[in-house]
Structure 1
Amino acid sequence: MTVWEDYLQPNGTLRNKLSIEDAHVLQQAEYRITLMRQVYLSNHQYRLPSGKRLTGATFDDVLAIHHFLFADVYDWAGQLREVNMNKGGDDFFPFQRFAMGIADLNEKLSAYTAVPPERRAVREVLGEIISEQNFLHPFREGNGRTQRTFAKLLAYQKGFAIDLDGMSEAYQKYMAASIADDITAMQQVFVHFVQPLTH
């Protein structure tokens, strides 16, 4: 796919594997499917049905999460978008420069593996990583759900958790920071809401 229209049906609804033509119906089906997949990952300590354990050490796990969440909905699940995107007049990272952006994110993820499992250190670095992933916006659809799942995975790896589900206060502030593409606000989300895991 190389042009915007390649992702769409003639009526503007995203092409999908469910043969759904109505955008609202597709949105509802997509939500149900991806919610079940998110719950699965959380309940299985971020291990895929194949047995592969996600660690968040590289961007490959972002691709794997997107594929797992959306594989039943879109043919391009787990694949980088091949069009440029913007929201509210602000452009996301150009797809032509993904290699550079992903390399930069991988450097931050590599550094994160060395961060001690201390709340202050973890939450500050997490905010920076997720803010950068938000600007990268690597997929045509499903960036938010993939990003939140990845954030929870990274927190989990250090023995922490953050509630980014539903209508939680953390979710509301996360969404505001995401929409504004505000790295400081995103860092504050993790500063205030990352908590030790409870078993």
Structure 2
Amino acid sequence: MKRKCYDSYDYIDPNNLYTYPDSSVLRNKQEERDEQKARDLEYRMVASKSLKLFINPIPVYSVEDILKIHQFLFEDMYHWAGEFRKVNISKSGNAFIPIQSFDTAIKFFITHQKWCVSIFFAIIEINKRRTLMIGENIKTLRKTHDLTQPEFAKIIGISRNSLSRYENGTSSVSTELVDRICKKFNVSYIDIVGEEKMLTPVEDYQLTLKIELIKERGANILAQLYRFQDEQGIKFDDSSNPWVLMSDDLSDLINTKIYLVATFEDVERYNGYLDGIERVLEQASHLVVA
């Protein structure tokens, strides 16, 4: 999986197109206590996010992604977005516009009609091309294994008719089904979809926590390594000494490599690496004491 290049939980980052910059949050984040200034800041953030979306449209992979952009265009962009919260209406893809907002909505569409329509059709076109590409990749995988449509469909737990629609691009493939195909046929997500799978906001947050734990654990182990080297009289600049090489490598991990971690697999690999250093250090300490 691939991490987003921005913090999914940072309300003050204009790159974050999925987060509505609530004025109360901005007030705390940027220490802006004046209500009107906070609201002005909120509007500027929405405008900035709108510009980002226009310059660099969000890639569309599924219906869920379309709904996210629908929510962005039809809620976050509108000056009347707050009406959704006031009338306690679910802010989902099926949410309807409060009656008192019709007038404002119409004015918005008149002003921004061409822009909204162009974005809408761009989304449809992108999704159509991706659906066709994914279908073609699934068909290629099936033929590579010399399987008929009924045989392939049975393996991944769907009907032959559904598989046929996926292969010819008339139906979009869910992320869950792509994951199932990858597991059943031992292929990567990129083989089917064409690029690495993005982490969800929850997964991104979990990965960030794990990275922080590795950094903290690595720093503690590095301190133990330095202490051991001092006790053994090992010179810190002795590049031929395995203990110095080990500490240099660990230092590089927690200061550089850790920031390049993009998957949970990377985290597990680094955790295993730290386990190995701890075992070696523990055994060496016991031998010295003995």
Q: If each structure's strand is expressed as a fraction of its own residues, which one has the higher value?
A: 1
Q: TM-score, normalised by structure 1?
A: 0.28
Larger Rg: 2
TM-score, normalization by structure 2: 0.21
